[in-house]
């Protein structure tokens, strides 16, 4: 697999190193309404389910995985910092999983990131400089059951955190569609779609969604429009 796009945006790195701000939020999944999804919900066996003939069966619908990384704790927040219990990307993932029939996999780092914003920035810089692949505590067993992967993360130093490269390196995305989504402070999508195109060359990369972290719970219309655009919401 090609080496991920080199780190970008030294200016932004400086901005985020110098800035003092933060975040945190909540999210859950359609299959885990508790809001603390730490495990993957594997596809259910629906072979014995009786369905209305007009209702498309699971086999006819795209089989969708929503995989995301999100970090709770101190983070950037409207020019300041805030310490929230659930990350912004997790909040966005919860909204998406409420709208789409999908299985949810929350990517957990084997070595959790610090609670502090500055310490997390410093660790991320080290990981980017080393082109590291931080270990995942709960690796996904298999990607074969899925046609579409909604792949979510925050933006860290103007790209996806390196743990997303750990995730994409571990799977064969041949024939699958990746729909990237991110939360950010200022950088927008920051080219993660291009990065996934480089690291998953046999996947189709669909339109990405970028939501400002502070707005993650207030952008349902934007999320719905994106899901329609990528063909996952039809009504
Ligand atoms: C280590 C670190 C680096 C960040 N770098 C950027 C950045 O380069 N550009 C940006 O727009 N936001 C940056 N942010 C802000 C996050 O992308 C934003 O707050 C995001 O919503 C956090 O999502 P989460 O709560 O799911 O982790 C950074 C945050 C952290 C912790």
pLDDT tens sequence across 64-107: 999 999 999 999 999 999 998 999 999 999 999 999 999 999 99
Whether 128 has a pLDDT exceeding 80, the answer reads yes
Ligand 1 center to residue 23 CA distance, Å? 9
* Cβ-based neighbours of 27, under 8 Å, separated by 6 or more: 35, 37, 70, 86, 87, 89, 90, 91, 92, 93, 94, 95
Q: Which of 49, 125, 36 is nearest to 86 (CA)?
A: 36
Work out the number of other CB atoms within 10 angstroms of the CB of residue 136. 17
Q: Which pLDDT score is estimated for 62?
A: 66
Q: Which of 143, 136, 176, 172 is nearest to 38 (CA)?
A: 136
Q: Which pLDDT score is estimated for 158?
A: 98
pTM, 2 dp = 0.81
Ligand 1 center to residue 50 CA distance, Å? 45
Ligand 1 center to residue 10 CA distance, Å? 15
Question: By alpha-carbon position, which residue is closest to atom 16 of ligand 1?
Answer: 184
Lowest-confidence pick of 41-50, 120-129, 154-163: 41-50
Residue with more model confidence, 25 or 50: 50
DSSP-assigned beta bridge partners for residue 105: 67
Percent over 90 (pLDDT), the chain:
72
Work out the number of other CB atoms within 10 angstroms of the CB of residue 32. 18
Percent over 70 (pLDDT), the chain:
74
Q: Assign 13 a pLDDT band (cuts: 50, 70, 90).
A: very low
DSSP-assigned beta bridge partners for residue 80: 77
Mutation choice for ligand 1 from 96, 160, 184, CB with most ligand atoms inside 8 A? 184
Q: What is the DSSP string of the chain?
A: -PPPPPP--HHHHHHHHH----------BTTBTTS---S--PPP--TT----TTSPPTTTSPPEEEEE----EEEEETTEEEEESS-HHHHHHHHHHHHS--EEEE--BSSPPPSSHHHHHHHHHHHHHTT--PPBSS--S-STT-SEEEEEEE-SSSS--HHHHHHHHTS--TT-EEEEEEEESS-TTTTHHHHHHHH-TTSEE---EEEEGGGGGG-HHHHHHHHHHTTS---
User: What fold, for 12-229?
Assistant: Rossmann fold (3.40.50)
> Where exactly are the structural domains of the chain?
12-229
Ligand 1 atom nearest residue 123's Cα: 1
pLDDT mean across residues, the chain = 81
- Rounded Cα gap, residues 31 and 39, in angstroms: 10
Ligand 1 center to residue 156 CA distance, Å? 5
Residues 152 and 68 sit within 8 Å (Cβ to Cβ): yes
Ligand 1 center to residue 133 CA distance, Å? 18
Mutation choice for ligand 1 from 8, 20, 22, 76, CB with most ligand atoms inside 8 A? 76
Residues 38 and 46 sit within 8 Å (Cβ to Cβ): no
Ligand 1 center to residue 136 CA distance, Å? 19
Q: Which residues line ligand 1 (CB under 6 A)?
A: 12, 16, 23, 70-71, 75-76, 87-90, 117, 120-121, 124, 154-158, 183-187, 213
Ligand 1 atom nearest residue 84's Cα: 25
Ligand 1 atom nearest residue 124's Cα: 1
């Amino acid at each position: 697999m090609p080496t991920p796009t080199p780190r970008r945006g030294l200016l932004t790195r400086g901005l985020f190193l110098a800035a003092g701000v933060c975040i945190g939020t909540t999210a859950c999944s359609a299959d885990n309404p508790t809001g603390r999804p730490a495990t993957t919900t594997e596809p259910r066996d629906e072979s014995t389910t009786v369905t209305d003939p007009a209702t498309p069966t699971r086999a006819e619908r795209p089989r969708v995985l929503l995989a995301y990384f999100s970090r709770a704790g101190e983070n950037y927040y409207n020019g300041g910092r805030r310490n929230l219990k659930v990350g912004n990307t997790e909040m966005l993932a919860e909204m998406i999983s409420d709208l789409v029939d999908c299985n949810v996999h929350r990517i957990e780092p084997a070595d959790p990131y610090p609670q502090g914003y500055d310490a997390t920035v410093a660790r991320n810089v080290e990981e980017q400089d080393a082109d590291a692949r931080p270990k995942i505590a709960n690796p996904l067993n298999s990607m074969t059951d899925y046609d579409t992967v909604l792949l979510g993360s925050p933006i860290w130093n103007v790209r996806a955190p390196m743990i997303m490269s750990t995730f994409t390196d571990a799977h064969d995305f041949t024939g699958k569609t990746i729909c990237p989504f991110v939360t950010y402070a200022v950088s927008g999508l920051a080219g993660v779609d291009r990065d996934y195109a480089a690291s998953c060359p046999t996947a189709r990369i669909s339109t990405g969604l970028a939501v400002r972290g502070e707005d993650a719970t207030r952008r349902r219309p934007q999320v719905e429009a994106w899901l329609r655009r990528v063909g996952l919401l039809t009504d």
